[in-house]
Amino acid sequence: MRHVGRGLLEFCRFRDSYGAVVRVQTSSSAMKPHAWVFIVGGGTTGDRRVNDGAAHLTRAHAKRLRAALDKWLRLSAPPARGQGGGG
């Protein structure tokens, strides 16, 4: 996990089987916690943009993506009742 500016966190960044960059990052949305899953580039043809929005994941890639999303879920969860907040 690393800071990527403006108080945002990047939970993972890796290349899939065809070279697309997959990353999970917090959103700056002020309404509710949100996460971005970016998938850019890669592809099976000479046009490296052909798979924008799609990732070709091995089991190891899927585990890495799941771990990043699980970490975001834990960090973005509201405090348990009776913990934190006023009142």
9-47 pLDDT per residue, tens? 999 999 998 888 999 999 888 788 889 999 988 766 666
Within-domain flag for 81? no
Within-domain flag for 83? no
Closest of 22, 24, 56 to residue 39, by C-alpha: 22
Compute the CA torsion angle 19, 62, 26, 44 (nearest 10 deg): 20
Indicate the pTM of the whole model.
0.73
Within-domain flag for 32? yes
Structural domain range at position 33: 2-76
Within-domain flag for 9? yes
Q: How many domains does the chain have?
A: 1
Give the model's pLDDT for residue 49.
59
Give the model's pLDDT for residue 87.
41
Within-domain flag for 16? yes
The dihedral built from the CA positions of residue 48, 49, 50 and 53, taken in this order, carries a sign that is positive
Helix (H, G, I), strand (E, B) or coil at 73: helix
Within-domain flag for 85? no
